[in-house]
Amino acid sequence: MADHLLHLVFGGKVDNPETLDFVNPEQLDVIGIFPNYKKAYEAWKAASHSHVDDAMTKYVIVHLHKLMEPSEP
């Protein structure tokens, strides 16, 4: 199971580039769910670089495996 720790990559416009307060959650750009951090990081990097000139657009990686099993280390 350690090889398949699910990660979600998404992003969108934020109010302040120092926060994660998304302006319009209904219009989030969901990149996808990935089977490991390496693939999620590659997707995050590609999405982030495609918006490099827009400081108000932010992409994040969410560790879904930590939400699914919060008691695991």
Q: Which domains does the chain have, with CATH numbers?
A: 7-68 (3.30.70.2400)
What is the value of pTM for the model shown?
A: 0.86
Q: What is the dihedral of CA 18, 50, 36, 21, to 10 degrees?
A: 30
- Residue 28 CB partners (closer than 8 Å, separation 6+): 10, 11, 12, 22
pLDDT tens for 1-55 read: 456 899 999 999 999 999 999 999 999 999 999 999 999 999 999 999 999 999 9
CA distance 12 to 21: 10
Query: Phi then psi for 21, rounded to 5 degrees?
Result: -85, 95
CA distance 1 to 13: 34
